[in-house]
Amino acid sequence: MKQILQTSIWSHRDIRLVLPARALSFAGDSIALIALMLRVSEGHGPAAITALLLAFAVPTVAMIPFAGRIVDGFDSRKVLVWSGLLQVVAGVGLALVHDLVHTLALVCVLQVGQAVAGPAWGALIPRIVGEDLVGPATGTSQALIGVAMLAGSAAGGVLVGWAGTRGALLVDAGTFLVLVLVAQLVQTRRRPEPGSADEGGGVSAGLRAIFGDDLLRVLVPAIWLFVVAGEAVNVVEVFLITGELGLGPSLYGAAGAATGAGAILGAWYSGRLNGDRSRAAGVVVGMAAIGGSSVLMGLAGNLVTLMIGATAIGVGSGLLNAAASALVVTRSAETVRGRVIAALNGTVRSFSILAMLLGGLAGAVLGPRGTFVTCGLACAAAAAVVGALVARSTAGTKDSELEAVSH
């Protein structure tokens, strides 16, 4: 038992501060998203909702050239405190304004802060727990975030009904203030090495590190393409459930909750994977699970089948995201981790935007069921191809040798 405690991520003081605080912040984000969706939907059409979703997505893409350089070029405490304060100010501003233009502008400011804070926390956590515990820390973090987002989604509507959108948005701003305080309390620091920030551009340095690694050069482009097919179904999911299956809004929400619960389970399990080979297999299995489950949902004729598919999609997503995150962090040199994480986050978000556009087009041409089945088959085929490529790149290679490839 003593040995287990010594090797647990919770034996590190700073991780006991960081993981709960980050989860709390994501709960606040879920509350804020519900509040903003309700605000924008009042008196505005679907175009305004689309604009709101783009305001959440585009800053992450626009910040790709800058976020990683900031994270790798400055002391982690300064980066986390200032990006957190920017989010606090944006959150308070969102609580005080009401019109669409200022709402969209402040959401963009909020996401600029997140584009920097996300990679900064992602690069600091390995410094806190050590390289050997990156996998368990990543899996635990994403599982906690999943729980927090479910709780935030459930609380969001209640808070808006009780305190209005202003009160709900002030709660979100408060969670960012907690993160700022935690950033000040964390003793572990990540400081730039002399000349490390001058090794090239932000996104180019991150992408060079990705494509310079034998395993990541296969997995990351596959994830980009997978996002296009896998996330396109999000656009038509509501039409599948409420239209094709004739289920009500409450069951649409239940399907979303099932997906979230599955993601928690998948992320938790990913923390039990040891070594690069098992994590790469986790990514492939996650892809296959999402593909097969999308086909199942597209063919579903009743609630039970739908819920099984939704839960399995969540498990696959949680496993895929956590395993891929752990791989990217552990197989990147410490000096460029901020740029690698920022490049990955920004490029994935770019393909998410493309997925939204293609999902709408596919829904119009193929219908909700056809979109789910087609995208699911594409994901399953991609998983088979990626699995073969990963098996070839890791054949006859030990995990210890795999880890040496990128360092």
For 289-314, give the secondary structure using H, E and C.
Answer: HHHHHHHHHHHCCCHHHHHHHHHHHH
How far apart CA 343 and CA 347 sit, in angstroms, is: 6
404 confidence band (pLDDT: 50, 70, 90): very low
Mean per-residue pLDDT, 302-315? 92
Q: Is 70 exceeded by the pLDDT of residue 242?
A: yes
Residue 3, amino acid: Q
Q: Is 50 exceeded by the pLDDT of residue 5?
A: no
- Provide the pLDDT for residue 231: 83
398 confidence band (pLDDT: 50, 70, 90): low
Q: State the pTM of this model.
A: 0.82
Neighbours of 366 (CB within 10 A): 16
Q: Report CA 244 to chain centroid distance, whole Å.
A: 29
Weakest mean pLDDT among 32-41, 66-75, 364-373: 32-41
Of 315, 300, 281, the closest CA to residue 383 belongs to 281
Mean per-residue pLDDT, 76-102? 94
Q: Is 60 exceeded by the pLDDT of residue 1?
A: no
* Percent of the residues in the chain that have a pLDDT greater than 70, as a whole number: 91
Mean per-residue pLDDT, 221-228? 88
Q: Is 70 exceeded by the pLDDT of residue 225?
A: yes
Phi, psi of 340 (to 5 degrees): -65, -45
- Provide the pLDDT for residue 243: 83
- Provide the pLDDT for residue 403: 47
Mean per-residue pLDDT, 243-270? 84
- Provide the pLDDT for residue 64: 83
- Provide the pLDDT for residue 196: 52
37 confidence band (pLDDT: 50, 70, 90): confident
- Number of alpha carbons in the 13 Å side-chain half-sphere of residue 19: 24
- Provide the pLDDT for residue 345: 86
Q: Compute the radius of gyration of the chain from its Cα atoms.
A: 21
Q: What is the mean pLDDT of the chain?
A: 86
How far apart CA 132 and CA 110 sit, in angstroms, is: 33
Mean per-residue pLDDT, 157-165? 83
